Structure 1
Amino acid sequence: MTYEKLVYHPEINRVIAFLDTTAGREKLLRTVQYLTRFLAYQLRGDLVELAYLKRIQFLIGISRKPLRFLKFLKHFRSLFIVLDDQLKDKKLRAFDVLKQVGFAAYFFLDGVQWFKQLGLINDRKSRSKLVANAGIYGFRCWLIALTGAILGNLRKLHIIYSRRKALSANSSAPDGKEAGISTNTATVDLLEKEDLNIAKEQNDLIKNSLDALVAMNGCNIIDATEGTVGLAGLVTSIMGLKDLWKSTKVGV
């Protein structure tokens, strides 16, 4: 029947699998949050619409935080894995350490900020500078993490380009007829693989750079408009959704 074809359609199953993950739900909420932020700037002349969109933006923002609660543990674990990996490129290792430390601190402070918004922590009662400035400190840690991620992207691109150049040089070297055909086929496959790696790193670099713009604005390093910040966050959210969608596995 028609409804059975719809219910059991592979894409419907994929949507269900995607929304069944915490990362999928959080990324979807992030997309809507930055969309409302962008629209609020565009409709800033209408005070009623502006207040409505700002309210939605706040509610989505606070709804995302429990989905990320204790996520700093994941980055602490990743940090120790990186520190134990002595075979990794030294520069990549250093950049990855910076990234994991930044993200671990950012998500920890994000939890503190959530408790503040819920009223479980009071700035005056705690008398803690960390609690009082959890928001701005969080943006700084996020920027540190993104700096490590961007440097890591650039380092990986340098390594991949060097590797690709060496493969291209080897493929043009003279060889026997039969051996040459086999070698060229294998080299072409490797070159295609490296091209995919380059595209992935370039995509990640763009995403991290746009997120860094949002983080720098949160740190008051730059003074970007709400429209610019909203658009940058919207683009990175869509890019993140696309990557998550590709990696979503549908159970049999």
Structure 2
Amino acid sequence: MASIASQIVLHPVTSQSLRVLNTTIGRDKLYRGVQYFARFFAWLLLSRGYKIQAARWDALKSHLGLGRKLLRLGKFMENAQAILRTLSTPGETGERVAMIGRHLGYFGYLFLDNISWAHSIKFYNLQPSTAQKINKRVMQFWFTGIVFSIAHGLLKAGRLANDVKKLQNQTWAEKSAEAERDLKLRDLQLAREAVRYQFIIDLLDVWIPATNIGLVNLNDGVLGLFGLITSLMALRQQWFAAAGKQ
């Protein structure tokens, strides 16, 4: 038994999982996945008439959402720094504008989210109407950030596709130059895959704030599944990132 326990505790997967959960982003994505699964499962139970069981999962969803707000305290400053870096970095104009719009949206979302958290734990009391307005603005800023992220993904994907075509159409006389071209093509393909991956996440996530601000009307089951999928996709990114830091 001791040998089996040792193999489980010291298994590379266990070590890798601990590395992921040692990061704030890793914990946040795991909590988010459970939160959105709870949202989906609560809807499923409620739709079948299991009100007591649904209330349990709904409570889990709410408390995980509140806990995740604590993990995001001060995170809006990362977006403020990203805006300044984007402004000072040369690049394709459309991509830069879209990236600035993305970070502005997330800055507003995270900043107001901090105020919402302070109100929810009764550290700072707001009028009910004011708290409702702030929560709506949180969703509007989140929606704006995702829309700009989608636009950025489309623009960058188009540019990378053109770069790939240019490299493929070029003729190379020397083998060393051809090897350099193949290396550049590989880097471009990796960049395109990363853009596509984030694009899928954004296309699924955008429906969550869109529903909360009334642009569409999707039920909690659909939104829970979308959130669960994107959480697992983001957690997968953290898994490979942690593996690269070994």
SS in 1 for 2:206: helix
Is 1:112 the counterpart of 2:106? The answer is no
- Relative distance call for 1:6 and 1:42 in structure 2 (3 A) is closer
Of the candidates 8, 26, 50, which is equivalent to residue 54 of structure 2?
Answer: 50
Is 1:96 the counterpart of 2:99? The answer is yes
State the alpha-carbon separation in 1 of the partners of residues 202 and 122 from structure 2.
Answer: 32
- Relative distance call for 1:150 and 1:250 in structure 2 (3 A) is closer
Partner of 2:158: 158
- Relative distance call for 1:92 and 1:26 in structure 2 (3 A) is same
Please tell me the residue identity of whatever aligns with 2:85: I
State the alpha-carbon separation in 2 of the partners of residues 4 and 139 from structure 1.
Answer: 46
**Offset at 1:133?**
1.3
Please tell me the residue identity of whatever aligns with 1:73: M
Partner of 2:19: 17
Is 1:217 the counterpart of 2:221? The answer is no
Contact 1:156 1:201 in 2 (8 A): yes
Q: Which moved more, 1:240-249 or 1:187-196?
A: 187-196
Q: Which moved more, 1:142-151 or 1:1-10?
A: 1-10
State the alpha-carbon separation in 1 of the partners of residues 50 and 16 from structure 2.
Answer: 39
Structure 1's unaligned 5+ residue stretches are none
SS in 2 for 1:123: coil
Q: TM-score, normalised by structure 1?
A: 0.89
SS in 2 for 1:122: coil
**Offset at 1:88?**
1.7
**Offset at 1:202?**
0.7
Structure 2's unaligned 5+ residue stretches are none
Is 1:62 the counterpart of 2:66? The answer is yes
Q: Which moved more, 1:99-108 or 1:4-13?
A: 4-13
SS in 1 for 2:214: coil
State the alpha-carbon separation in 1 of the partners of residues 36 and 148 from structure 2.
Answer: 24
Identity within the alignment, %: 24
Partner of 2:145: 145
Is 1:198 the counterpart of 2:192? The answer is yes
Partner of 1:133: 133
**Offset at 1:24?**
0.9
**Offset at 1:196?**
1.8
**Offset at 1:195?**
1.9
Equivalent residue pairs, number: 242
- Relative distance call for 1:47 and 1:128 in structure 2 (3 A) is closer
Q: TM-score, normalised by structure 2?
A: 0.91
Contact 1:17 1:250 in 2 (8 A): no
